[in-house]
Amino acid sequence: MNTTIRHGAVVAATAGVLGALATHGAAAAAQPKAAATAYTCRNGAVSVSDAAGSAAPTARKPNVPLYATLRLHNTENTALTKASYVFAIGNLMKNRGPAPHVRWRVGKGSWHTMALHWNSKTNGTLPLWNSSALAVDTIPARGTVTAEISVSFPKKSVKAVDYDFLDVHSGACGSARLDWYTGNGFSYWPWTGTPGKPA
């Protein structure tokens, strides 16, 4: 079931953090062009969007798979080679809880299990579960590649909205960030239990 999340206190608490992330993204936009390539390696060279619009999927019990279909669009006139992204997820109340179970695939390819590690300083500020770099390969000039993600929450997960982020890079662009995308989130919200506590 898809629903738009409106858990007042949780959403209000995220505003300052997301504002800080946007500021960080603007600062990263000053990245120089990568050497020996016609591709402009800048924040915004890849634009990520969610095919579901602003709806966030919600699980009312553990181990229910929730899905997001993300579109990675190359805004440049040159194909982007060796594209990849790092996926991060967590609640912004900073309550760790067990790692969610996450799978991913590109297009209609095979599903893969995403190995997550705890990063206490994701993007310099947020404690989140992070993946390693996940290969997307080449995104054609002005073209789009689809990345599908499946998230499920094990028992005793924290009752919360878990926000997700994509950090897009390419081997052709070195350390330049091509997009920092704040997703709609995945909500683990059983009918009973206290928000911010294991449920």
Query: For residue 50, is pLDDT > 60?
Result: yes
Taking the C-alpha atoms of residue 139 and residue 171, their distance in angstroms, rounded to an integer, is: 12
- Residue 180, pLDDT score: 96
How far from the centroid of its chain's Cα atoms is residue 143's Cα?
Answer: 20
Mean pLDDT of 37-49: 92
CB 81 within 8 A of CB 171: yes
| Confidence bin at 75 (pLDDT 50/70/90) | very high
Mean pLDDT of 83-109: 92
Q: Categorise residue 193: left if φ over 0, alpha if ψ from -120 to 50, beta otherwise.
A: left
Average predicted confidence (pLDDT) for the chain: 85
- Residue 37, pLDDT score: 52
- Residue 156, pLDDT score: 94
Q: Point out which residues pair with 144 in neighbouring strands.
A: 73
Which residue is associated with the tokens 């390969």?
Answer: 137
Tokens of 192: 């009973």
> Could you tell me what percent of the chain has a pLDDT over 70?
81
| Confidence bin at 96 (pLDDT 50/70/90) | confident
- Rounded to two decimals, what is the model's pTM? 0.80
What's the length of the chain? 199
Mean pLDDT of 89-114: 92
Mean pLDDT of 171-176: 93
